[in-house]
Amino acid sequence: MSQKIPGFSTLAIHAGAKPDPATGARITPIYQTTGYVFDDADHAASLFGLKAFGNIYTRIMNPTQAVLEERIAALEGGTAALATASGHSAQHLIFHTIMRPGENFVAARKLYGGSINQFGHAFQNYGWEVRWGDVNDVSTFESQIDDKTRAIFIESLANPGGEFVDIEAIGNIARKHGLPLIVDNTLATPYLVRPLEHGADIIVHSLTKFIGGHGNSMGGMIVDGGTFDWSKSGNYPMLSEPRPEYGGVVLHETFGNFAFAIACRVLGLRDIGPAISPFNAFQILTGCETLPLRMQRHCDNAITVAGWLSNHPKVAWVSYPGLAGDKNHALQKRYSPRGAGAVFTFGLKGGYEAGVKLVEGLELFSHLANLGDTRSLVIHPASTTHRQLTDEQKIAAGAGPDTVRLSIGIEDSNDIVADLEQALAKV
């Protein structure tokens, strides 16, 4: 390929992949192996000492996984990436790399319910404290920062509400205080938003959602933006101080602008072990090839459905940034001109009971705890994904009792609307 930077659709198909050198297979094979033969004792020693790149053990790396990592790094504009078993495990590895007991990070209140639960409960076992900021008032992020704060975490497109976040404004706060900005880009995908271009330092994905796109494989991804100075403050010793398990190697000094991805792999993935399976990496690679086509169809269908719902007499409100009157519309146009995504929420005038009734009456939609599938999906967050939260937390997260979340698929939009119409008639 020439020196010209390939377009997004080309990268989605070709980045990281070449015909298999052993067989000539054009599609990246599933390297279903646990271990790899070393050339000799010196080769093995250099691999284990981080003095050479290569495969050691599939818990740490795998050739199928490596292609997926290079592809997502290319789509996001990052320097390197690390695939993991799930989005939750990717988040775990990120914070394991930068946090120590007694330290804290600031996260947006409007997040996926599972992330709120992970941050607010599971992370307490490590002595990591989460503090909450309001994306509609970015000063609340700054007011939570102290000398023990180590990161800021947001979603580019908030789940479940489908609201765009002002990445640049929050990124400015992060840079002012010498903190990395971590952005969950799952709902937007790099097709709609590339957070590294707006001030992010680290990207995290649940590959299970739109990038895989077919609801058949679990996966997570960490993308290193290569933009943060891990040595400057002394607050990130896993990257800035000698690592005794690797003969005193200083990861940031040795690996430069992809040191964070290396640290997550050789310190976190190695010891905690949430490795993605080669088969899941293969499935997600296949899904990634059609990401731009699917995401555009998702967006086109979603604006049609949101517009129809906004005019329905039983619907109290619709939160979809693609609608001209939406409070988030200006941010959508600024950050995501290709479209407003596939996930949004709306409320019914009958409240909690009406939301449950609607979900039960849908036929084309699948009622399940996932999103980003080719199929249209529905869930009532207050009774499912956000059930563990208090009423106040549910409302703050955009998952109040009347809220219904839709993930619009790539079916014919007329059929999606017809299913909603017949279900609403039963409410």
In this predicted structure, what is the pLDDT of residue 393? 76
In this predicted structure, what is the pLDDT of residue 94? 98
Contacts of 268 (CB under 8 A, 6+ apart): 92, 93, 96, 97
β-partners of residue 157 are 164
In this predicted structure, what is the pLDDT of residue 386? 66
Question: What tokens were used for 120?
Answer: 């607010």
Question: What tokens were used for 388?
Answer: 């563990």
Q: Please answer whether residues 192 and 185 qualify as being in contact, where contact means their C-beta atoms are separated by less than 8 angstroms.
A: no
Amino acid at residue number 231 = S
Q: Say if strands 149-155 and 181-184 run parallel, antiparallel, or are unpaired.
A: parallel
CATH of domain 8-287: 3.40.640.10
CA 418 – CA 186 distance, rounded (Å): 28
Phi, psi torsion values for 192, nearest 5 degrees: -95, -45
CA 152 – CA 263 distance, rounded (Å): 19
| Tally of CA atoms within 13 A in the half-sphere of 239 that contains its CB | 28
94 CB neighbour count, 10 Å cutoff: 26
For the chain, the structural domain boundaries read: 8-287, 291-424
Say if residue 160 is preceded by a cis peptide, omega within 30 of 0: yes
Residues listed for the chain:
427
Per-residue burial over 129-146, b if 16 or more Cβ lie within 10 Å, else e, is bbbbbebeebebbbebbe
In this predicted structure, what is the pLDDT of residue 159? 86
Find the radius of gyration of the CA atoms of the chain.
22
Reported as a single tens digit per residue, the pLDDT across 250-295 is 999 999 999 999 999 999 999 999 999 999 999 999 999 999 999 9
Can you list the residues of the chain whose pLDDT is less than 70? 1-2, 385-386, 388, 397
Global pTM exceeds 0.85: yes
In this predicted structure, what is the pLDDT of residue 2? 53
β-partners of residue 318 are 346
233 CB neighbour count, 10 Å cutoff: 12
Burial category of 17 from C-beta neighbours within 10 Å (exposed 0-12, middle 13-18, buried 19 and up): middle
The residue with tokens 């990281």 is: 16
> CA nearest 378: which of 424, 414, 328?
424
Instruction: Look at the alpha carbons of 377, 382, 383, 388 in this order and tell me if their dihedral is positive or negative.
Output: positive
Angle between helices 278-288 and 63-76 (to 10 degrees): 40
In this predicted structure, what is the pLDDT of residue 365? 97
Contacts of 179 (CB under 8 A, 6+ apart): 145, 149, 150, 151, 152
237 CB neighbour count, 10 Å cutoff: 13
Q: Please answer whether residues 62 and 277 qualify as being in contact, where contact means their C-beta atoms are separated by less than 8 angstroms.
A: no
CA 295 – CA 210 distance, rounded (Å): 8
Fold of 291-424: Aspartate Aminotransferase, domain 1 (3.90.1150)
> CA nearest 267: which of 247, 251, 248, 253?
251
Question: What tokens were used for 344?
Answer: 């949004």
Q: What is the DSSP letter of 134?
A: B
Q: Please answer whether residues 9 and 74 qualify as being in contact, where contact means their C-beta atoms are separated by less than 8 angstroms.
A: no
Largest distance between two CA atoms of the chain: 73
Q: Please answer whether residues 196 and 203 qualify as being in contact, where contact means their C-beta atoms are separated by less than 8 angstroms.
A: yes
